[in-house]
A and B are shown apart, each in its own frame.
Chain A
Amino acid sequence: MQIVLNGEPRALAAGLSVAGLLKELGIDGRKVAVERNLEIVPKSAFETTALDDGDRLEIVHFIGGG
């Protein structure tokens, strides 16, 4: 399936969960927030949220800012 991840198209295995994607990317889920199709995915739902074809995903974290 094809999703848009942080603005870039990306091909993923069908049925991958948010937690699975974070693991695949090497991202520590405790340090990020995930938005799927403009809805927040709570950390507690990372395991149970399966991604769908066409999903628009944003993974954000804190950086230096004023």
Chain B
Amino acid sequence: MDGNAKVGEDFFQVAGLRFQSRLLVGTGKYKDFTETAQAIEATGAEIVTVAVRRVNISDPKQPMLMDFVDPKKYTYLPNTAGCYTAQDAVRTLRLAREAGGWNLVKLEVLGDQKTLYPDVTETLEAAKALIKDGFDVMVYTSDDPIIAKKLEDLGCCAIMPLAAPIGSGLGVQNPVNIRLIIEAAKVPVLVDAGVGTASDAAIAMELGCDGVLMNTAIAAAKDPIKMAKAMKLAVEAGRLAYLAGRMPRKLYADPSSPLGGLI
């Protein structure tokens, strides 16, 4: 979409911030920080998710993510990955706000180590506490349209249903529910987790998602930089196809060449 004014008019807005890119990416699972930086650059993403963890006290001189992925260039979206209770998630994001000074956060409260499926009751509780505390909450949730609506009603600034379990690469498993969530929501809806390859991202965007958030699909590709580019194109293609409006599906053929003038 480089410099294309017409497409440039299409932007993604969350918590009052405008973004050109509808691809949000994680910064985990890469070989090293150099590869992380290169892959993120290739995705064209403007928002990157980051985790909050203890500093390695025994070796504080280890390279830090911030030295490779500039928080002035990218919007850091701190997450609560690894949190299984509302209390842990809120504690983590309060620390994140102090470390970085940002209010925009990604809330995820997990319910089970095997599926990493969200615990929606804990998620609702955490969302309530965070919003009360002044956070702008982008929330990872299941593809349940009722829970999605409840999270929106609480004041979450973006609803992020999973396409499939985190890191599974299975693609959009329940397109009907994703569409139901989009149709009911007045805030941005992003598919978060479960994308495996470029076509999965395109499908999410063709459904009308405002964006896609992914990590493993890029980091675990054989060539992460190439996959990063593929994902950038897929999200743009899916968005354009959604805006263009697809043709109706038909049971029988319809010739593309005119029948008049046949010899």
Question: Which of A's residues lie within 8 Å of B, judged by CB?
Answer: 5-8, 10, 25-27, 31-35, 38, 40, 42-43, 58-66
The verdict on A25 contacting B57 (CB below 8 Å), with A64-B65, A65-B81 known, is yes
- Docked Cα-Cα span, A62 to B102, in Å, equals 12
A60 and B55 within 8 A (CB) = yes
* Given contact pairs A27-B55, A64-B26, A40 touches B98 in the complex (Cβ within 8 A): yes
Q: Which residue of A lies closest to B51 (CB)?
A: A65
Q: How far is the CA of A33 from the CA of B167 in the complex (A)?
A: 28
Determine whether the beta carbon of A63 is less than 8 Å from that of B50: yes
Contact with A along B97-135 (1 / 0, CB 8 A): 111100000000000000000000000000000000000
B26 to A66, Cβ gap below 8 A? Answer: yes
Q: Is the CB of A62 within 8 A of B100?
A: yes
A38 to B79, CA, bound (A): 19
Whether, in the assembled complex, B186 has its beta carbon less than 8 Å from a beta carbon of chain A, the answer is: no
Give chain B interface residues in 48-84, CB to chain A under 8 Å.
49-55, 57, 60-61, 64-66, 76, 78-79, 81
Q: How many inter-chain contacts with C-beta < 8 Å in the A-B complex?
A: 100
Residues of chain B whose beta carbon lies under 8 Å from any beta carbon of chain A:
26-30, 33, 36, 49-55, 57, 60-61, 64-66, 76, 78-79, 81, 91, 94-100, 166-167, 193, 214-216
A6 to B166, CA, bound (A): 28
Residues of A within 8 A of B193 (CB): 66
A26 near B52 with CB under 8 A, answer no
Count chain A CB atoms within 10 A of each CB in B55, B79, B91, B193 and give the residue with the most. Answer: B55
Measured between beta carbons, the chain A residues less than 8 angstroms from B216 are 66
Assembled-state Cα–Cα distance A58/B61 (Å):
18
- Chain B residues with Cβ under 8 A from A8's Cβ? 57
- Measured CB to CB, the nearest residue on chain A to B217 is A66
Query: Apart from A58-B54, A66-B27, what 7 extra A-B contacts exist at CB < 8 Å?
Result: A6-B55, A26-B60, A40-B98, A60-B99, A64-B26, A64-B28, A66-B193
A59–B98 alpha-carbon span in the complex (Å): 11
Closest to B76 in A: A62
Q: How far is the CA of A37 from the CA of B92 in the complex (A)?
A: 14
Residues A61 and B28 in contact in the complex (CB < 8 Å), given A25-B60, A31-B64, A66-B215? no
In whole angstroms, what is the CA distance A65 to B167 when docked?
12
* Distance (whole angstroms) from the CB of B25 to the closest CB of chain A: 8
Contact with B52, one of A5, A6, A7, A62 (Cβ below 8 angstroms): A62
23 CB contacts below 8 A, A to B, read A6-B55, A10-B57, A25-B60, A27-B60, A32-B55, A33-B96, A35-B91, A59-B55, A61-B52, A61-B53, A61-B64, A62-B50, A62-B65, A62-B76, A62-B78, A62-B99, A63-B53, A65-B79, A66-B28, A66-B29, A66-B166, A66-B193, A66-B214
